[in-house]
């Protein structure tokens, strides 16, 4: 009986030892895998990286000294050496750039006159960070924000290069009679090619940015339907480098003469009243009415929408 109990205890001890060895081995493998991934993890991702050929490289600081311990740090505190991130790429001459780190402003600075920029962020604690960057041109127009997620490693320099800031864009006028010109303009990296994409009728127009980064295009609206259209641009430089799309702006093409209309005042007498209402009724539910002004919102039909605009502008 005693023997059996001893054997049982011996077995239990052996099992416990075996289990302990197994646990040590298991966590050893997990630790090794985690370390391996941490060292090799070096990637960029995020919505905006689809369109930019951004690359990230990581190197060790080398002989950089350890930072001094923070004031008052008690003994036994593990000092983690901060990491460093360098962002560089193309913007516009003297563009005002803002870098966001996890949604908060981390740095602001100006691009060079050449349009190139480079910014070093130091003292970053290790871990996965999402960086965003956008530019403001000399006329205070903003680019879209590019973002990328990178793994910042302690004592390492992560370089994110190949950032190509999207062009800025503006257009005027936003209401244009068919056949008239819409001026589309903005800034991009100097001497890059600028492709302007017009929709809903998918069309690409090409122009070039000058030495000072400015670009413009006079779009003749003769080929567009009388409707709302959108314009956005992207810059191309060198061999295949291209920026993401700019912001998207819209403009309305209306029929020739329609812009002389005075809203719901269909007879131009300065009031919106029963006379205008009777004109509206005359053209009620007509598509492209001969009196263009009766289609108050220029959507191609005289409908309840025009009536509601008239009620809103009603002066009596
Ligand atoms: Ca009137
Ligand atoms: Ca209408």
Instruction: List, for residues 228-263, the tens digit of each pLDDT value.
Output: 999 999 999 998 999 999 999 999 998 887 777 889
Full-model pTM: 0.64
> How far, in Å, from the CA of 277 to the mean position of ligand 1?
8
Which neighbouring-strand residues pair with 62? none
- pLDDT reported for residue 51: 32
Residue pair 49/61 in contact by the 8 Å Cβ criterion: no
Identify the weakest region by mean pLDDT among 105-109, 127-131, 164-168, 243-247: 127-131
Return d(Cα 87, Cα 96) in angstroms, integer: 14
Extract the runs of DSSP E, i.e. beta strands, from the chain.
Answer: 55-60, 83-90, 96-101, 104-110, 116-124, 127-136, 146-152, 156-164, 170-172, 175-177, 181-187, 193-199, 203-208, 214-220, 228-237, 241-242, 249-254
pLDDT tens digit string along 58-90?
Answer: 666 554 444 433 433 333 444 456 888 999 999
Q: Which ligand is located closest to the Cα atom of residue 267?
A: 1
Task: Show the tokens assigned to 97.
Answer: 């750039």
> How far, in Å, from the CA of 265 to the mean position of ligand 1?
4
Q: Tell whether the model's pLDDT for residue 155 goes beyond 60.
A: yes
- pLDDT reported for residue 284: 97
- pLDDT reported for residue 78: 46
User: What residues have their beta carbon closer than 5 A to ion ligand 1?
Assistant: 265, 267, 269, 271, 276
* Helix, strand, coil percentages in the chain from 3-state DSSP, rounded to 5: 20, 35, 40
Q: How many CB atoms lie within 10 A of CB 234?
A: 22
- pLDDT reported for residue 143: 97
Which neighbouring-strand residues pair with 193? 208, 236
- pLDDT reported for residue 178: 92
Residue pair 22/133 in contact by the 8 Å Cβ criterion: no
Q: Tell whether the model's pLDDT for residue 57 goes beyond 90.
A: no
Average pLDDT over residues 18-35: 53
Mean of all residue pLDDT scores within the chain: 82
Q: Tell whether the model's pLDDT for residue 272 goes beyond 50.
A: yes
> How far, in Å, from the CA of 276 to the mean position of ligand 2?
14
Calculate what percentage of the chain has a pLDDT beyond 90. Answer: 57
Nearest CA among 143, 130, 141, 163 for reference residue 56 = 163
pLDDT tens digit string along 185-244?
Answer: 999 999 999 999 999 778 999 999 999 999 999 999 999 998 899 999 999 999 899 999
Q: Tell whether the model's pLDDT for residue 295 goes beyond 80.
A: yes
């Amino acid at each position: 009986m005693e023997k059996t109990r001893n054997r049982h205890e011996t077995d239990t001890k052996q099992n416990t030892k075996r289990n302990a060895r197994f646990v040590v081995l298991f966590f050893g493998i997990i630790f090794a895998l985690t370390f391996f991934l941490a060292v090799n993890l070096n990637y960029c991702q995020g919505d905006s990286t689809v369109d930019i050929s951004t690359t990230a490289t990581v190197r060790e600081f080398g002989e950089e000294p350890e930072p001094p311990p923070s004031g008052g740090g008690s003994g036994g505190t593990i000092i983690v050496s901060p990491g460093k991130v360098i962002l560089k790429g193309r913007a516009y001459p003297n563009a005002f750039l803002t870098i966001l780190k996890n949604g908060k402003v981390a740095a602001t600075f100006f691009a060079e006159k050449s349009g190139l920029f480079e910014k070093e962020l130091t003292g970053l604690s290790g871990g996965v960070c999402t960086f965003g960057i956008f530019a403001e041109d000399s006329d205070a127009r903003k680019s879209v924000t590019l973002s990328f997620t990178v793994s910042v490693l302690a004592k390492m320099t992560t370089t994110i290069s190949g950032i190509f800031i999207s062009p800025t864009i503006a257009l005027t006028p936003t209401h244009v009679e068919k056949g008239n010109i819409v001026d589309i303009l903005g800034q991009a990296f100097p001497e890059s090619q600028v492709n302007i994409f017009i929709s809903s009728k998918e069309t690409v127009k090409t122009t070039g940015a000058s030495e000072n980064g400015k670009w413009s295009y006079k779009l003749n609206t003769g080929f567009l339907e009388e409707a709302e259209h959108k314009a956005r641009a992207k810059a191309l430089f060198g061999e295949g480098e291209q920026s993401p799309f700019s912001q998207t702006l819209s403009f309305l093409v209306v029929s020739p003469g329609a812009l002389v209309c005075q809203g719901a005042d269909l007879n131009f007498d300065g009031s919106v009243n029963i006379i205008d209402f009777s004109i509206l009724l005359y053209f009620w539910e007509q598509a492209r009415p001969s009196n263009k002004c009766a289609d108050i919102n220029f959507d191609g039909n005289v409908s309840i929408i025009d009536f509601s605009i008239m009620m809103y502008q009603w002066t009596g």
